[in-house]
Structure 1
Amino acid sequence: MSDALDNVNFDSDELNFDDFHLEDLDADSVVEAPAKVERDLSFFKNIPVTVTLEVASKEIALGDLMQAGEGSVIELDKLNGEPLDVKVNGSLLGHAEVVVVNDKYGLRLIDVLDSALSSVGQ
């Protein structure tokens, strides 16, 4: 690198903010931010995502898990009847309960977190 760049020193005493007269600015000289443009986000509708219904979880030592066998019970962190977590691509979307529709499991959304959808379209 150049020695000229290495020898640049900054002296805060050289700054003089008294020369700026912000109160003299008129409204016509202020540049406004452009209006937010609405975008067509319909192309997002065809992007596949993975929806997961997480019943519960438990942190367990690997040694304890290796000793588990048929008939072993591992207590999980959710209570009976508590809403289950719905995750989309690993991020929490909301909560749901399990339902059966035409002999297949399904989920009924109980609530959807606002934070999960707030960044869509921004």
Structure 2
Amino acid sequence: PNMGMNMNAAAVPGGFAMPGMAAPGMGMPGMAMPGYGMQAPQPGSAAIMPGMTPNVQPVQFPSLQNTVTPQEQGNIGLIMDVYMEMTVELGRTRKVIKDILGMGEGTIIELDKLAGEPVDILVNHKPIAKGEVVVIDENFGVRVTEILSPSERISDV
């Protein structure tokens, strides 16, 4: 007689049963059973017996093509109006807090680049190009002089 207890109950030490809990080891075939040894092999898996050498063959991959499908071209169009932060960096320096707190109007900060040296162009804080500073009417601008190769971009990170 189950006396109102759920038939799917697990026995707990002391002879009691906990409703809603399956007994350990009563799961589906092939599932790991804690404390009961190794997991049963899955269908389609191959076991290598000790002393046997597996048959290993090289894989032939299809050649990659550098073509863009119309669907891929349409996908790139989806992000064309996404804004990204672009920064032009004239140079950098490091100062101790005492020097920074002592700065005032007219303080000159010496940077690590020489005048006329190319400036770094960054997109989302990652270097992508170099350029030279130009003046357009009364505003500063940058003329791109070099696009960094992917390997140069990685080395700067």
TM category, shorter:
0.5 to 0.7
- The gaps in structure 1 that reach 5 residues or longer are 24-29
The one-character-per-residue Cα deviations of 1:34-64 (angstroms, maximum 9, x if unpaired) are 8657221222321111111111110111121
What TM-score, normalized to structure 2?
0.55
> Larger % of helix: which?
1
1:82 aligns with 2:86: no
Q: Which has the higher contact order (CA 8 A, sep 6+)?
A: 1
Task: Return the index of the structure with the highest Cα Rg.
Answer: 2
For the residues of structure 1 that align with 2:95 and 2:49, how far apart are their CA atoms?
A: 61
What TM-score, normalized to structure 1?
0.68
- Once superposed, which parts of structure 1, at least 4 consecutive aligned residues long, lie more than 4 Å away? 30-37
Q: Who is 2:85 aligned against?
A: 50
1:2 aligns with 2:34: yes
Deviation at 1:73? 2.1
- The gaps in structure 2 that reach 5 residues or longer are 1-32, 40-47
Count of aligned positions: 106
For the residues of structure 2 that align with 1:34 and 1:95, how far apart are their CA atoms?
A: 34
Q: Who is 1:16 aligned against?
A: 52
